[in-house]
Structure 1
Amino acid sequence: MDTKVTPQQPVSLWRNRDYLLLWFGNAVSSLGTSCTQFAFPLLIVGLTHSIAAAGLAYSLGQLPYVLLSLPAGSLVDRWPRKRVMLLSTFCLMMCVASIPLVLFLTSGPLRLLLLYAIAFGVGATSLFYELAGFAALTWIVPKSQLPTAIAQNEVIVGSSALVGPALGSLLFSISRLLPFVTDALSSLILLSSLLSIRSPMQDERRTERHHLLLEVREGLTWLWGHEIVRSIFLISSYVNLAITAGVLLVLAIVQQQHIPSVLYGLIGACGGVGNLLGAALCPLLLRRIRMDLTLRCALIVFVVLFPLYGFITTPLLLGALYAAIALSDSIRAIFMDSYRFAVVPDALQGRVNSIYRLLLFSVLTIGSSALGLSLEHLGILPTVGIVWSGLLLITGFLFLSRHMRQATFPQA
Structure 2
Amino acid sequence: MTTDEARMPGEVPTETAPSLWKNRSYRLLLTGATAEDVGAAVGAFAVPLAAFAITGSVVQAGVISFVGQLGSVLMTLPAGVIVDRVDRRRLIMAGGAVAALAWATVVVAGLADGLSITAPHLAAALFVSSAVGSLLDPAGTAALHAVVRTEHLGQAMSVAQGRDAAAALLQGPLGGLLYGMSTVLPFVVSAAGRLVAVVTTSLVREPLNGDLGAARAEHPVAALRAGLRYVFAVPLLRATIWLFMLVNVVLNGMMVAINLHLVSTGTAPALIGLVNTAVGVGVLTGSVLAGALVRRVRVSVLTVLALGVSGVAVVVMALFPTYWGFVAALTGMMLFAPALNAGMLSYVTAITPGRMQGRMAATLGLTGLVAGPTAPLVGSLLLDGVGISAAMWCFAAAWTVLFLAMFLVRPLWRVGLPDTWAADALE
The TM-score with structure 2 as length reference comes to: 0.83
What amino acid is aligned across from residue 219 of structure 2 in structure 1?
A: H
What amino acid is aligned across from residue 321 of structure 1 in structure 2?
A: A
CA RMSD of aligned residues (A): 3.3
- Mean Cα displacement is larger for which, 52-61 or 249-258? 249-258
What is the CA–CA distance in structure 2 between the aligned matches of 1:390 and 1:42, rounded to whole Å? 27
What is the CA–CA distance in structure 2 between the aligned matches of 1:109 and 1:254, rounded to whole Å? 24
1:123 and 2:130 are equivalent in the alignment: yes
Q: 1:310 aligns to what? A: 318
1:156 and 2:163 are equivalent in the alignment: yes
What amino acid is aligned across from residue 314 of structure 2 in structure 1?
A: F
Q: Aligned in 2, Cα 1:41/1:140: closer, same or farther, shift over 3 Å?
A: same
Q: Aligned in 2, Cα 1:59/1:154: closer, same or farther, shift over 3 Å?
A: same
Q: 2:142 aligns to what? A: 135
What is the CA–CA distance in structure 1 between the aligned matches of 2:109 and 2:56, rounded to whole Å? 18
Pick the aligned partner of 1:343 from 339, 344, 351. 351
1:183 and 2:190 are equivalent in the alignment: yes
What is the CA–CA distance in structure 2 between the aligned matches of 1:138 and 1:69, rounded to whole Å? 19
Q: How does 1:25-40 map to 2 (within 5 A)?
A: 25-40=32-47
* C-alpha distance after superposition, 1:208-262 (max 9, x if no partner): 5333222211111112211112223223222222322442564587689997765
Q: How does 1:254-273 map to 2 (within 5 A)?
A: 263-273=271-281
Q: Contact 2:314/2:392 (CA < 8 Å) preserved in 1? A: yes
Q: 1:203 aligns to what? A: 210
- Displacement of 1:21: 0.7
Q: Contact 2:321/2:389 (CA < 8 Å) preserved in 1? A: no
Q: Aligned in 2, Cα 1:289/1:207: closer, same or farther, shift over 3 Å?
A: closer
- Mean Cα displacement is larger for which, 391-400 or 380-389? 380-389
* C-alpha distance after superposition, 1:44-81 (max 9, x if no partner): 55556565664444223311111221122211111111
In structure 1, the gaps of 5 or more residues are none
1:365 and 2:373 are equivalent in the alignment: yes
1:329 and 2:329 are equivalent in the alignment: no
Q: How does 1:70-81 map to 2 (within 5 A)?
A: 70-81=77-88
What is the CA–CA distance in structure 2 between the aligned matches of 1:261 and 1:115, rounded to whole Å? 19
What is the CA–CA distance in structure 2 between the aligned matches of 1:107 and 1:310, rounded to whole Å? 38
1:18 and 2:28 are equivalent in the alignment: no
Q: Aligned in 2, Cα 1:258/1:111: closer, same or farther, shift over 3 Å?
A: closer
Q: How many residues align?
A: 408
What is the CA–CA distance in structure 2 between the aligned matches of 1:164 and 1:285, rounded to whole Å? 26
1:239 and 2:239 are equivalent in the alignment: no
What amino acid is aligned across from residue 36 of structure 1 in structure 2?
A: G
Q: Aligned in 2, Cα 1:258/1:153: closer, same or farther, shift over 3 Å?
A: same
In structure 2, the gaps of 5 or more residues are 1-11, 423-427
Q: Aligned in 2, Cα 1:390/1:335: closer, same or farther, shift over 3 Å?
A: farther
Percent identical across equivalent pairs?
Answer: 26
Pick the aligned partner of 1:352 from 347, 350, 360. 360
What is the CA–CA distance in structure 2 between the aligned matches of 1:46 and 1:258, rounded to whole Å? 12
Q: Contact 2:249/2:375 (CA < 8 Å) preserved in 1? A: yes
- Mean Cα displacement is larger for which, 281-290 or 42-51? 42-51
What is the CA–CA distance in structure 2 between the aligned matches of 1:254 and 1:45, rounded to whole Å? 11
Q: Aligned in 2, Cα 1:306/1:100: closer, same or farther, shift over 3 Å?
A: closer
- Mean Cα displacement is larger for which, 363-372 or 352-361? 363-372
Q: Contact 2:54/2:118 (CA < 8 Å) preserved in 1? A: no
Q: Contact 2:96/2:198 (CA < 8 Å) preserved in 1? A: yes
1:65 and 2:72 are equivalent in the alignment: yes
- Mean Cα displacement is larger for which, 363-372 or 331-340? 363-372
SS at match of 1:327: coil
- Displacement of 1:282: 0.8
Pick the aligned partner of 1:280 from 276, 284, 288. 288
Q: Aligned in 2, Cα 1:79/1:319: closer, same or farther, shift over 3 Å?
A: same
Q: Contact 1:95/1:118 (CA < 8 Å) preserved in 2? A: yes
- Displacement of 1:185: 3.2
